[in-house]
A and B are shown apart, each in its own frame.
Chain A
Amino acid sequence: MAHAYELRCRECGKRYNNAPLSICDECFSPLEVQCDLEAARNTFTREAIAQGPSSMWRYQALLPVPDDYVAPTPAGWTPLLHAPRLAERIGASNLYIKNDAVCLPTLSFKDRVVSVALANAQIFGFDTVGCSSTGNLANAVAAQAARLGLKSYIFVPADLEPAKILNTQVYGAKLVRIDGNYDHVNRLCSQIADRYNWGFVNVNLRPYYAEGSKTVGFEIAEQLGWRLPDNVVVPMAGGSLITKIRKAFKELIALGLVEDKEVRFFGAQATGCSPIATAVKTGADHIEPQRPSTIARSLAIGNPADGVYATRCIRESGGWAEDVSDVEIVSAIQELAESEGIFTETAGGVTTAVTARLYAHGRIRSDELTVICVTGNGLKTTDALAGAYELEAAVRPRLSDFETYLEEQNEERELVSGGVRVR
Protein backbone atom coordinates (compact mmCIF):
# COMPACT_ATOMS: atom_id res chain seq x y z
CA MET A 1 0.00 0.00 0.00
CA ALA A 2 1.53 3.30 -1.16
CA HIS A 3 -0.14 5.24 1.65
CA ALA A 4 -1.19 4.20 5.15
CA TYR A 5 -4.75 3.91 3.85
CA GLU A 6 -6.57 3.69 0.54
CA LEU A 7 -9.96 2.95 -0.95
CA ARG A 8 -10.95 -0.54 -1.99
CA CYS A 9 -14.13 -1.97 -3.50
CA ARG A 10 -15.86 -4.27 -1.07
CA GLU A 11 -17.17 -6.52 -3.81
CA CYS A 12 -14.60 -6.73 -6.66
CA GLY A 13 -11.55 -5.57 -4.70
CA LYS A 14 -10.48 -2.80 -7.10
CA ARG A 15 -8.14 -0.35 -5.38
CA TYR A 16 -8.35 3.43 -5.63
CA ASN A 17 -6.14 6.31 -4.56
CA ASN A 18 -7.68 8.47 -1.88
CA ALA A 19 -10.41 10.64 -3.40
CA PRO A 20 -13.93 11.85 -2.65
CA LEU A 21 -15.42 8.71 -4.08
CA SER A 22 -17.79 6.13 -2.66
CA ILE A 23 -18.81 3.90 -5.57
CA CYS A 24 -16.67 1.49 -7.58
CA ASP A 25 -16.73 2.45 -11.28
CA GLU A 26 -16.35 -1.20 -12.28
CA CYS A 27 -19.13 -2.93 -10.35
CA PHE A 28 -20.97 0.05 -8.78
CA SER A 29 -20.53 -1.40 -5.29
CA PRO A 30 -19.49 0.55 -2.18
CA LEU A 31 -15.89 1.54 -1.55
CA GLU A 32 -14.29 1.15 1.85
CA VAL A 33 -11.14 2.55 3.44
CA GLN A 34 -8.52 -0.03 4.25
CA CYS A 35 -5.72 0.90 6.58
CA ASP A 36 -2.29 -0.64 6.30
CA LEU A 37 -2.18 -2.64 9.51
CA GLU A 38 1.46 -3.58 9.08
CA ALA A 39 2.40 0.10 8.83
CA ALA A 40 0.44 0.77 12.01
CA ARG A 41 1.91 -2.15 13.95
CA ASN A 42 4.70 -0.08 15.49
CA THR A 43 2.67 3.00 16.26
CA PHE A 44 -0.67 1.52 17.29
CA THR A 45 0.36 0.09 20.65
CA ARG A 46 -1.30 0.18 24.06
CA GLU A 47 1.47 2.42 25.37
CA ALA A 48 1.33 4.90 22.50
CA ILE A 49 -2.43 5.07 22.71
CA ALA A 50 -2.33 5.70 26.47
CA GLN A 51 -0.10 8.73 25.83
CA GLY A 52 -2.45 10.10 23.20
CA PRO A 53 -5.15 12.71 23.69
CA SER A 54 -8.31 12.06 25.70
CA SER A 55 -10.36 11.88 22.52
CA MET A 56 -11.00 9.49 19.65
CA TRP A 57 -7.80 10.84 18.06
CA ARG A 58 -5.76 8.65 20.40
CA TYR A 59 -6.47 6.02 17.70
CA GLN A 60 -5.30 8.26 14.84
CA ALA A 61 -2.87 5.65 13.49
CA LEU A 62 -5.87 3.57 12.36
CA LEU A 63 -7.96 6.45 11.06
CA PRO A 64 -7.80 7.70 7.46
CA VAL A 65 -5.92 10.96 8.04
CA PRO A 66 -2.25 11.85 7.51
CA ASP A 67 0.17 11.10 10.35
CA ASP A 68 0.71 14.79 11.06
CA TYR A 69 -2.98 15.68 11.12
CA VAL A 70 -3.92 17.71 14.19
CA ALA A 71 -7.63 17.41 14.97
CA PRO A 72 -9.23 20.72 15.96
CA THR A 73 -12.12 19.13 17.87
CA PRO A 74 -11.73 16.52 20.62
CA ALA A 75 -14.68 14.20 19.85
CA GLY A 76 -15.18 10.81 21.43
CA TRP A 77 -13.57 9.13 24.49
CA THR A 78 -16.95 8.92 26.13
CA PRO A 79 -17.61 7.01 29.37
CA LEU A 80 -18.11 3.26 29.48
CA LEU A 81 -20.36 2.90 32.51
CA HIS A 82 -21.08 -0.16 34.59
CA ALA A 83 -24.88 -0.37 34.77
CA PRO A 84 -25.85 -2.52 37.77
CA ARG A 85 -29.30 -1.02 38.37
CA LEU A 86 -30.49 -1.35 34.80
CA ALA A 87 -28.93 -4.81 34.79
CA GLU A 88 -30.95 -5.85 37.82
CA ARG A 89 -34.18 -4.67 36.20
CA ILE A 90 -33.64 -6.67 33.01
CA GLY A 91 -32.07 -9.80 34.45
CA ALA A 92 -28.45 -9.05 33.62
CA SER A 93 -25.43 -9.09 35.90
CA ASN A 94 -22.55 -7.81 33.78
CA LEU A 95 -23.88 -4.89 31.80
CA TYR A 96 -22.08 -1.78 30.54
CA ILE A 97 -23.28 1.30 28.67
CA LYS A 98 -21.10 3.06 26.12
CA ASN A 99 -22.49 6.53 26.60
CA ASP A 100 -22.21 8.61 23.44
CA ALA A 101 -25.12 10.72 24.69
CA VAL A 102 -22.27 12.86 26.03
CA CYS A 103 -20.05 12.74 22.96
CA LEU A 104 -18.66 16.18 22.14
CA PRO A 105 -19.25 18.60 20.57
CA THR A 106 -22.92 17.87 19.70
CA LEU A 107 -23.96 14.98 21.99
CA SER A 108 -24.12 12.04 19.60
CA PHE A 109 -21.75 9.45 18.12
CA LYS A 110 -22.01 11.29 14.81
CA ASP A 111 -19.35 13.68 16.11
CA ARG A 112 -16.87 10.85 15.58
CA VAL A 113 -17.66 10.18 11.94
CA VAL A 114 -17.91 13.85 11.06
CA SER A 115 -14.49 14.54 12.56
CA VAL A 116 -12.91 12.09 10.14
CA ALA A 117 -15.07 13.11 7.18
CA LEU A 118 -14.36 16.83 7.51
CA ALA A 119 -10.64 16.22 7.96
CA ASN A 120 -10.77 14.60 4.54
CA ALA A 121 -13.03 17.33 3.13
CA GLN A 122 -10.25 19.77 3.91
CA ILE A 123 -7.59 17.48 2.46
CA PHE A 124 -9.60 17.23 -0.78
CA GLY A 125 -10.01 21.01 -0.90
CA PHE A 126 -13.76 21.38 -0.46
CA ASP A 127 -14.96 24.75 0.80
CA THR A 128 -18.57 23.57 1.13
CA VAL A 129 -19.70 20.44 2.93
CA GLY A 130 -23.06 18.86 3.56
CA CYS A 131 -25.02 15.79 4.51
CA SER A 132 -28.38 14.11 4.43
CA SER A 133 -29.44 13.56 7.98
CA THR A 134 -32.04 12.35 10.41
CA GLY A 135 -30.81 15.00 12.84
CA ASN A 136 -27.73 14.02 14.81
CA LEU A 137 -25.51 14.12 11.76
CA ALA A 138 -26.95 17.51 10.86
CA ASN A 139 -25.91 18.88 14.25
CA ALA A 140 -22.44 17.37 14.03
CA VAL A 141 -21.71 18.60 10.49
CA ALA A 142 -23.03 22.09 11.23
CA ALA A 143 -20.95 22.47 14.39
CA GLN A 144 -17.69 21.07 13.08
CA ALA A 145 -17.99 22.87 9.73
CA ALA A 146 -18.34 26.12 11.67
CA ARG A 147 -15.22 25.33 13.65
CA LEU A 148 -13.27 24.59 10.48
CA GLY A 149 -14.58 27.64 8.63
CA LEU A 150 -16.40 25.58 6.00
CA LYS A 151 -19.78 26.42 4.51
CA SER A 152 -22.40 23.76 5.08
CA TYR A 153 -25.65 22.68 3.47
CA ILE A 154 -27.66 20.29 5.61
CA PHE A 155 -30.57 18.33 4.12
CA VAL A 156 -33.19 16.90 6.49
CA PRO A 157 -36.73 15.50 6.35
CA ALA A 158 -39.20 18.34 6.89
CA ASP A 159 -40.75 16.67 9.98
CA LEU A 160 -37.51 16.52 11.95
CA GLU A 161 -37.65 17.19 15.70
CA PRO A 162 -37.52 20.96 16.43
CA ALA A 163 -34.52 20.61 18.73
CA LYS A 164 -32.47 18.98 16.00
CA ILE A 165 -33.39 21.75 13.57
CA LEU A 166 -32.46 24.48 16.06
CA ASN A 167 -29.24 22.66 16.94
CA THR A 168 -28.25 22.80 13.28
CA GLN A 169 -29.27 26.35 12.45
CA VAL A 170 -27.53 27.85 15.46
CA TYR A 171 -24.15 27.06 13.89
CA GLY A 172 -24.94 29.12 10.82
CA ALA A 173 -25.52 26.12 8.58
CA LYS A 174 -27.90 26.35 5.64
CA LEU A 175 -30.66 23.93 6.59
CA VAL A 176 -32.68 22.62 3.67
CA ARG A 177 -35.92 20.90 4.70
CA ILE A 178 -37.05 18.32 2.18
CA ASP A 179 -40.67 17.34 1.77
CA GLY A 180 -40.11 13.62 2.21
CA ASN A 181 -38.54 11.00 4.47
CA TYR A 182 -34.83 10.33 4.97
CA ASP A 183 -34.65 8.02 1.99
CA HIS A 184 -35.93 10.81 -0.24
CA VAL A 185 -33.40 13.19 1.27
CA ASN A 186 -30.56 10.75 0.84
CA ARG A 187 -31.39 10.09 -2.78
CA LEU A 188 -31.52 13.79 -3.56
CA CYS A 189 -28.13 14.25 -1.93
CA SER A 190 -26.67 11.52 -4.15
CA GLN A 191 -27.82 13.56 -7.14
CA ILE A 192 -26.56 16.84 -5.72
CA ALA A 193 -23.16 15.31 -4.94
CA ASP A 194 -22.97 14.15 -8.57
CA ARG A 195 -23.69 17.68 -9.77
CA TYR A 196 -21.98 20.05 -7.31
CA ASN A 197 -18.43 20.05 -6.08
CA TRP A 198 -19.37 19.70 -2.43
CA GLY A 199 -18.10 17.30 0.17
CA PHE A 200 -21.08 15.32 1.38
CA VAL A 201 -19.92 13.49 4.49
CA ASN A 202 -22.24 10.52 3.98
CA VAL A 203 -22.16 10.44 0.17
CA ASN A 204 -18.86 11.11 -1.59
CA LEU A 205 -16.89 11.18 1.69
CA ARG A 206 -18.71 8.19 3.16
CA PRO A 207 -15.82 5.69 3.13
CA TYR A 208 -13.77 8.08 5.33
CA TYR A 209 -16.75 9.09 7.46
CA ALA A 210 -17.63 5.49 8.27
CA GLU A 211 -14.13 4.76 9.60
CA GLY A 212 -14.80 7.18 12.46
CA SER A 213 -17.26 4.68 13.89
CA LYS A 214 -14.39 2.29 14.60
CA THR A 215 -13.41 4.48 17.53
CA VAL A 216 -16.50 3.29 19.45
CA GLY A 217 -15.07 -0.22 19.25
CA PHE A 218 -11.51 0.84 20.10
CA GLU A 219 -12.76 2.70 23.16
CA ILE A 220 -14.91 -0.17 24.41
CA ALA A 221 -11.93 -2.51 24.26
CA GLU A 222 -9.51 -0.10 25.93
CA GLN A 223 -12.00 0.89 28.64
CA LEU A 224 -12.62 -2.77 29.45
CA GLY A 225 -8.88 -3.08 30.12
CA TRP A 226 -7.93 -4.17 26.59
CA ARG A 227 -10.35 -7.03 26.33
CA LEU A 228 -13.42 -7.62 24.22
CA PRO A 229 -16.94 -8.04 25.56
CA ASP A 230 -19.08 -11.12 24.94
CA ASN A 231 -21.88 -9.13 23.32
CA VAL A 232 -22.52 -5.69 21.89
CA VAL A 233 -26.01 -4.26 21.31
CA VAL A 234 -26.05 -1.55 18.66
CA PRO A 235 -28.85 0.61 17.22
CA MET A 236 -29.17 0.34 13.46
CA ALA A 237 -30.21 3.06 11.05
CA GLY A 238 -28.08 2.74 7.91
CA GLY A 239 -26.34 -0.25 9.50
CA SER A 240 -22.79 1.08 9.33
CA LEU A 241 -21.94 1.44 13.04
CA ILE A 242 -22.40 -2.22 13.93
CA THR A 243 -20.10 -3.34 11.12
CA LYS A 244 -17.46 -0.78 12.02
CA ILE A 245 -17.36 -1.79 15.69
CA ARG A 246 -16.73 -5.32 14.48
CA LYS A 247 -14.03 -4.05 12.14
CA ALA A 248 -12.39 -2.22 15.07
CA PHE A 249 -12.34 -5.40 17.16
CA LYS A 250 -10.80 -7.34 14.28
CA GLU A 251 -8.11 -4.72 13.82
CA LEU A 252 -7.27 -4.88 17.52
CA ILE A 253 -7.05 -8.68 17.33
CA ALA A 254 -4.90 -8.52 14.19
CA LEU A 255 -2.48 -6.13 15.93
CA GLY A 256 -2.38 -8.20 19.12
CA LEU A 257 -3.86 -5.53 21.39
CA VAL A 258 -6.61 -7.85 22.59
CA GLU A 259 -7.03 -11.60 22.74
CA ASP A 260 -8.83 -13.21 19.83
CA LYS A 261 -12.47 -13.66 20.62
CA GLU A 262 -15.71 -13.87 18.63
CA VAL A 263 -17.93 -11.11 19.93
CA ARG A 264 -21.63 -11.51 19.23
CA PHE A 265 -23.34 -8.50 17.67
CA PHE A 266 -26.98 -7.68 18.29
CA GLY A 267 -28.85 -5.08 16.25
CA ALA A 268 -31.70 -2.89 17.50
CA GLN A 269 -34.41 -1.22 15.44
CA ALA A 270 -37.87 0.26 15.92
CA THR A 271 -40.68 -1.93 14.63
CA GLY A 272 -41.89 1.01 12.57
CA CYS A 273 -38.64 0.90 10.60
CA SER A 274 -37.01 -2.49 10.88
CA PRO A 275 -35.68 -3.60 7.47
CA ILE A 276 -32.43 -4.99 8.91
CA ALA A 277 -34.03 -6.75 11.89
CA THR A 278 -36.56 -8.25 9.52
CA ALA A 279 -33.83 -9.58 7.25
CA VAL A 280 -32.02 -11.13 10.24
CA LYS A 281 -35.21 -12.75 11.54
CA THR A 282 -36.31 -14.12 8.19
CA GLY A 283 -32.87 -15.26 7.08
CA ALA A 284 -33.02 -13.09 3.96
CA ASP A 285 -29.81 -12.17 2.17
CA HIS A 286 -31.24 -8.91 0.91
CA ILE A 287 -33.03 -5.93 2.42
CA GLU A 288 -36.65 -5.22 1.64
CA PRO A 289 -37.07 -1.45 1.92
CA GLN A 290 -39.75 -0.11 4.27
CA ARG A 291 -41.64 3.15 4.63
CA PRO A 292 -40.62 4.36 8.10
CA SER A 293 -43.25 5.13 10.73
CA THR A 294 -41.71 5.47 14.19
CA ILE A 295 -40.87 8.08 16.80
CA ALA A 296 -37.26 6.89 16.56
CA ARG A 297 -36.58 9.24 13.69
CA SER A 298 -32.82 9.04 13.99
CA LEU A 299 -33.15 5.36 13.04
CA ALA A 300 -35.85 5.87 10.40
CA ILE A 301 -33.98 4.76 7.30
CA GLY A 302 -36.19 2.49 5.24
CA ASN A 303 -33.54 1.54 2.70
CA PRO A 304 -30.39 1.17 4.80
CA ALA A 305 -27.21 1.48 2.78
CA ASP A 306 -25.25 -0.98 4.91
CA GLY A 307 -28.21 -3.22 5.64
CA VAL A 308 -26.78 -6.24 3.85
CA TYR A 309 -23.44 -5.89 5.62
CA ALA A 310 -25.08 -5.35 9.00
CA THR A 311 -27.20 -8.46 8.51
CA ARG A 312 -24.14 -10.53 7.68
CA CYS A 313 -22.19 -9.07 10.59
CA ILE A 314 -24.92 -10.13 12.99
CA ARG A 315 -25.38 -13.55 11.45
CA GLU A 316 -21.66 -14.32 11.18
CA SER A 317 -21.06 -13.37 14.80
CA GLY A 318 -23.86 -15.56 16.12
CA GLY A 319 -25.93 -12.58 17.21
CA TRP A 320 -29.49 -11.55 16.55
CA ALA A 321 -31.67 -8.50 15.87
CA GLU A 322 -34.88 -7.32 17.47
CA ASP A 323 -37.32 -4.47 17.00
CA VAL A 324 -39.55 -2.74 19.53
CA SER A 325 -42.69 -0.59 19.49
CA ASP A 326 -42.85 3.15 20.08
CA VAL A 327 -44.46 2.54 23.49
CA GLU A 328 -41.56 0.30 24.49
CA ILE A 329 -39.11 2.94 23.27
CA VAL A 330 -40.56 5.63 25.54
CA SER A 331 -40.65 3.26 28.54
CA ALA A 332 -37.04 2.32 27.95
CA ILE A 333 -35.93 5.96 27.76
CA GLN A 334 -37.51 6.45 31.20
CA GLU A 335 -36.10 3.20 32.57
CA LEU A 336 -32.55 4.05 31.52
CA ALA A 337 -32.83 7.54 32.98
CA GLU A 338 -34.35 6.30 36.26
CA SER A 339 -31.95 3.42 36.74
CA GLU A 340 -28.63 4.81 35.51
CA GLY A 341 -29.04 8.57 35.21
CA ILE A 342 -28.59 8.55 31.44
CA PHE A 343 -31.08 10.50 29.37
CA THR A 344 -30.98 9.15 25.85
CA GLU A 345 -32.87 10.01 22.72
CA THR A 346 -35.32 7.64 21.07
CA ALA A 347 -32.55 5.57 19.45
CA GLY A 348 -31.19 4.81 22.93
CA GLY A 349 -34.68 3.81 23.98
CA VAL A 350 -34.72 1.36 21.09
CA THR A 351 -31.38 -0.12 22.11
CA THR A 352 -32.32 -0.39 25.78
CA ALA A 353 -35.70 -1.99 25.07
CA VAL A 354 -34.16 -4.45 22.62
CA THR A 355 -31.50 -5.35 25.18
CA ALA A 356 -34.18 -6.12 27.76
CA ARG A 357 -35.93 -8.38 25.28
CA LEU A 358 -32.72 -10.18 24.35
CA TYR A 359 -32.21 -11.10 28.02
CA ALA A 360 -35.88 -11.99 28.46
CA HIS A 361 -35.77 -14.32 25.46
CA GLY A 362 -32.53 -15.94 26.60
CA ARG A 363 -30.53 -14.77 23.62
CA ILE A 364 -28.04 -13.21 26.04
CA ARG A 365 -27.16 -14.99 29.30
CA SER A 366 -27.20 -12.88 32.44
CA ASP A 367 -23.51 -13.25 33.30
CA GLU A 368 -22.15 -12.44 29.86
CA LEU A 369 -20.24 -9.17 29.54
CA THR A 370 -22.55 -7.07 27.40
CA VAL A 371 -22.10 -3.51 26.17
CA ILE A 372 -25.07 -1.39 25.08
CA CYS A 373 -24.27 1.46 22.69
CA VAL A 374 -26.23 4.59 23.53
CA THR A 375 -25.60 6.92 20.63
CA GLY A 376 -27.54 10.12 21.26
CA ASN A 377 -28.85 12.52 23.90
CA GLY A 378 -32.39 12.76 25.18
CA LEU A 379 -32.37 16.55 25.20
CA LYS A 380 -32.74 16.40 21.42
CA THR A 381 -35.98 14.40 21.41
CA THR A 382 -37.89 15.68 24.42
CA ASP A 383 -41.07 15.69 22.31
CA ALA A 384 -41.06 11.89 22.62
CA LEU A 385 -41.86 12.35 26.31
CA ALA A 386 -44.53 14.99 25.82
CA GLY A 387 -47.34 14.36 28.31
CA ALA A 388 -45.36 11.77 30.23
CA TYR A 389 -44.94 13.97 33.29
CA GLU A 390 -47.35 16.34 35.03
CA LEU A 391 -46.29 19.76 36.18
CA GLU A 392 -47.58 19.97 39.75
CA ALA A 393 -48.91 23.13 41.34
CA ALA A 394 -46.23 25.40 42.81
CA VAL A 395 -45.70 25.14 46.55
CA ARG A 396 -45.58 28.34 48.58
CA PRO A 397 -42.10 28.95 50.05
CA ARG A 398 -43.13 28.01 53.57
CA LEU A 399 -42.06 24.94 55.49
CA SER A 400 -45.66 24.22 56.57
CA ASP A 401 -46.78 24.22 52.95
CA PHE A 402 -44.03 21.88 52.00
CA GLU A 403 -45.00 19.52 54.81
CA THR A 404 -48.59 19.58 53.60
CA TYR A 405 -47.30 18.81 50.13
CA LEU A 406 -45.32 15.83 51.46
CA GLU A 407 -48.35 14.51 53.32
CA GLU A 408 -50.43 14.69 50.18
CA GLN A 409 -47.71 12.87 48.30
CA ASN A 410 -47.66 10.13 50.92
CA GLU A 411 -51.44 9.82 50.89
CA GLU A 412 -51.40 9.48 47.15
CA ARG A 413 -48.68 6.85 47.36
CA GLU A 414 -50.72 4.84 49.85
CA LEU A 415 -53.77 5.04 47.64
CA VAL A 416 -51.75 3.87 44.67
CA SER A 417 -50.17 1.01 46.59
CA GLY A 418 -53.64 0.08 47.86
CA GLY A 419 -54.72 -0.37 44.30
CA VAL A 420 -56.94 2.71 44.12
CA ARG A 421 -55.65 5.80 42.39
CA VAL A 422 -57.69 8.91 43.11
CA ARG A 423 -57.05 12.19 41.37
Chain B
Amino acid sequence: MKSANSCQEASVSVRVLLPNAFQKHTDGTREIESNAGNLPELITEIETTFPALKTHLRDEQGQVRRFINFYVNEEDIRFLGNDKYAFKDGDEVLVIPSIAGGSCACCHYCGQDCACC
Protein backbone atom coordinates (compact mmCIF):
# COMPACT_ATOMS: atom_id res chain seq x y z
CA MET B 1 0.00 0.00 0.00
CA LYS B 2 1.19 3.51 -0.77
CA SER B 3 1.25 6.46 1.52
CA ALA B 4 0.44 9.96 0.28
CA ASN B 5 2.17 11.82 3.08
CA SER B 6 5.75 11.62 1.95
CA CYS B 7 8.17 13.66 -0.14
CA GLN B 8 6.71 15.60 -2.95
CA GLU B 9 9.49 15.28 -5.44
CA ALA B 10 10.70 11.72 -5.30
CA SER B 11 8.90 8.45 -5.16
CA VAL B 12 10.77 6.71 -2.38
CA SER B 13 9.40 3.25 -1.97
CA VAL B 14 10.56 0.92 0.76
CA ARG B 15 9.62 -2.67 1.48
CA VAL B 16 8.68 -3.26 5.12
CA LEU B 17 8.75 -6.76 6.62
CA LEU B 18 6.65 -7.25 9.76
CA PRO B 19 7.29 -9.96 12.36
CA ASN B 20 4.90 -12.82 13.12
CA ALA B 21 4.18 -11.22 16.48
CA PHE B 22 2.40 -8.36 14.69
CA GLN B 23 0.16 -10.54 12.56
CA LYS B 24 -2.62 -10.86 15.10
CA HIS B 25 -3.07 -7.10 14.72
CA THR B 26 -2.44 -6.86 10.96
CA ASP B 27 -4.92 -9.50 9.75
CA GLY B 28 -1.98 -11.66 8.78
CA THR B 29 -0.18 -9.06 6.67
CA ARG B 30 3.55 -9.71 6.78
CA GLU B 31 4.85 -7.22 4.28
CA ILE B 32 3.92 -3.72 3.07
CA GLU B 33 5.24 -1.19 0.62
CA SER B 34 5.63 2.32 1.99
CA ASN B 35 6.50 5.78 0.72
CA ALA B 36 7.51 7.01 4.17
CA GLY B 37 10.60 9.20 4.14
CA ASN B 38 11.92 8.21 7.53
CA LEU B 39 11.25 6.09 10.61
CA PRO B 40 8.72 8.37 12.38
CA GLU B 41 6.73 8.63 9.16
CA LEU B 42 6.85 4.89 8.69
CA ILE B 43 5.60 4.20 12.22
CA THR B 44 2.75 6.66 11.72
CA GLU B 45 1.87 4.96 8.46
CA ILE B 46 1.92 1.50 10.03
CA GLU B 47 -0.36 2.74 12.82
CA THR B 48 -2.74 4.34 10.32
CA THR B 49 -2.85 1.25 8.17
CA PHE B 50 -3.29 -1.10 11.10
CA PRO B 51 -5.21 0.76 13.82
CA ALA B 52 -5.36 -2.41 15.93
CA LEU B 53 -1.57 -2.34 16.18
CA LYS B 54 -1.32 1.19 17.48
CA THR B 55 -2.04 0.60 21.14
CA HIS B 56 0.35 -2.32 21.19
CA LEU B 57 3.20 -0.55 19.44
CA ARG B 58 3.54 2.24 21.99
CA ASP B 59 3.83 2.29 25.77
CA GLU B 60 1.83 4.39 28.23
CA GLN B 61 3.99 7.42 27.50
CA GLY B 62 3.35 7.14 23.77
CA GLN B 63 6.89 5.97 23.02
CA VAL B 64 7.50 3.11 20.61
CA ARG B 65 8.24 0.14 22.84
CA ARG B 66 11.95 -0.33 23.44
CA PHE B 67 11.98 -4.02 22.53
CA ILE B 68 11.04 -3.26 18.94
CA ASN B 69 14.06 -2.89 16.68
CA PHE B 70 14.20 -1.48 13.16
CA TYR B 71 16.79 -2.42 10.58
CA VAL B 72 17.43 -0.97 7.14
CA ASN B 73 18.81 -3.58 4.78
CA GLU B 74 21.46 -5.19 6.99
CA GLU B 75 22.02 -2.38 9.45
CA ASP B 76 20.46 -1.42 12.76
CA ILE B 77 18.81 1.93 12.05
CA ARG B 78 20.43 3.32 15.21
CA PHE B 79 23.79 3.07 13.42
CA LEU B 80 22.37 5.10 10.53
CA GLY B 81 21.02 8.04 12.48
CA ASN B 82 17.76 6.53 13.70
CA ASP B 83 14.87 9.00 13.16
CA LYS B 84 17.08 11.21 11.00
CA TYR B 85 17.87 8.51 8.47
CA ALA B 86 16.17 9.28 5.13
CA PHE B 87 14.89 6.12 3.51
CA LYS B 88 16.25 5.45 0.05
CA ASP B 89 14.29 3.99 -2.79
CA GLY B 90 14.44 0.22 -2.59
CA ASP B 91 15.41 0.03 1.08
CA GLU B 92 14.21 -3.06 2.91
CA VAL B 93 13.07 -2.26 6.44
CA LEU B 94 12.88 -5.08 8.99
CA VAL B 95 10.85 -4.79 12.17
CA ILE B 96 12.09 -7.30 14.73
CA PRO B 97 11.24 -7.51 18.42
CA SER B 98 14.14 -8.32 20.75
CA ILE B 99 14.24 -11.87 21.94
CA ALA B 100 15.47 -11.88 25.48
CA GLY B 101 15.48 -14.62 28.03
CA GLY B 102 16.86 -13.30 31.26
CA SER B 103 14.94 -12.13 34.24
CA CYS B 104 14.98 -10.15 37.40
CA ALA B 105 12.34 -12.21 39.17
CA CYS B 106 11.94 -10.01 42.24
CA CYS B 107 8.32 -8.98 41.67
CA HIS B 108 7.19 -12.55 41.24
CA TYR B 109 8.95 -13.89 44.27
CA CYS B 110 8.70 -11.14 46.85
CA GLY B 111 5.57 -9.44 45.57
CA GLN B 112 7.11 -6.02 45.99
CA ASP B 113 7.28 -3.27 43.47
CA CYS B 114 10.72 -2.75 42.12
CA ALA B 115 12.47 -0.88 39.41
CA CYS B 116 14.02 -3.83 37.72
CA CYS B 117 11.18 -5.37 35.75
Contacts and interface: CB of A to CB of B under 8 A. Distances in A.
Contacts of B69: 303
Given A32-B101, A191-B96, 13 more contacts: A25-B21, A32-B103, A183-B76, A184-B74, A202-B99, A238-B102, A251-B109, A289-B76, A289-B78, A289-B79, A305-B99, A306-B102, A313-B102
Interface residues of B, number: 39
B95 to A, nearest CB: 9
A297 B76 CA distance: 20
A180 interface: yes
Given A28-B56, A250-B106, A308-B66, A210 B101 contact: yes
29 contacts: A10-B117, A11-B65, A11-B67, A24-B21, A25-B25, A27-B65, A29-B65, A30-B99, A30-B100, A32-B103, A34-B108, A37-B109, A180-B74, A191-B96, A202-B99, A207-B101, A210-B103, A238-B100, A239-B100, A240-B101, A246-B103, A247-B104, A250-B105, A288-B78, A289-B76, A305-B99, A305-B101, A309-B103, A312-B104
A187 B109 contact: no
A137 B6 CA distance: 44
The 8 A-B pairs at the shortest CB distance, nearest first, are namely A210-B101, A243-B102, A306-B102, A30-B100, A312-B116, A305-B100, A240-B102, A247-B105
Interface in A353-368: none
Contact of B66 (A26, A202, A286): A286
Contact of B116 (A24, A183, A313): A313
Residue of B56, B57, B78, B102 with most partner-chain A CB within 10 A: B102
Interface in A174-233: 180, 183-184, 187, 190-191, 194, 202-203, 206-207, 209-210
Nearest to A189: B99
A233 B45 CA distance: 45
Contacts of A10: 100, 103, 117
A240 B71 CA distance: 23
B46 interface: no
Contacts of B101: 22, 30, 32, 202, 206-207, 209-210, 238, 240, 244, 305-306
Interface string A8-29: 0011000000000011111111
Given A180-B74, A184-B74, A316-B115, A23 B19 contact: yes
Interface of A: 10-11, 22-30, 32, 34, 37, 180, 183-184, 187, 190-191, 194, 202-203, 206-207, 209-210, 238-244, 246-247, 250-251, 253-254, 286, 288-289, 291, 303, 305-306, 308-310, 312-313, 315-316
A28 B116 contact: no
Contacts, number: 136
Contacts of A238: 100-102
A310 B103 CA distance: 8
Interface string B82-117: 000000000000101111111111101110001111
Nearest to B116: A312
A10 B79 CA distance: 27
A312 B115 contact: yes
A190 B19 CA distance: 9
B17 interface: yes
